[in-house]
Amino acid sequence: MTGREVGVRVSGEDIERWLMERVAYYLETPVGEIDPEVSLAEYGLESVYAFALCGDIEDKLGVTVEPTLVWDVDTVAALTVHLAGLAAELPSV
């Protein structure tokens, strides 16, 4: 997933896969070791990376998110559900 394309809806599966890749990148760990049901705090995701992830989300999905979002929802799975809902509300561009 390289950004929101004109007229294309992003699936929850695409969002989850992309989030897991980003989290793995920030944690410097293989993506296969990221469980979407495990708390990001449990993985030791630092706040600076959580903030950067929020910026990544805004860039990729075209939605504005609060910097605390990653901690508020706490898992990749919950974040995926939240973001899929936000993305579904966006008009097709």
CATH architecture for the domain at 12-89: Orthogonal Bundle (1.10)
C-alpha 1/C-alpha 23 separation (Å) is: 15
Question: How far is Cα 47 from Cα 14, in angstroms, rounded to an integer?
Answer: 24
pLDDT digits over 11-59, tens only? 899 999 999 999 999 999 999 999 999 999 999 999 999 999 999 999 9
Q: What is the pTM of this model?
A: 0.84
Q: Burial code of 3-29, b = ≥16 C-beta within 10 A, e = fewer?
A: ebeeeeebeeebbbbbbbebbbebbee
Q: Taking the domains of the chain in order of start, what are their residue ranges?
A: 12-89
First to last CA, the chain: 16
Asked whether 62 and 5 are in contact (CB, 8 A), the reply is: no
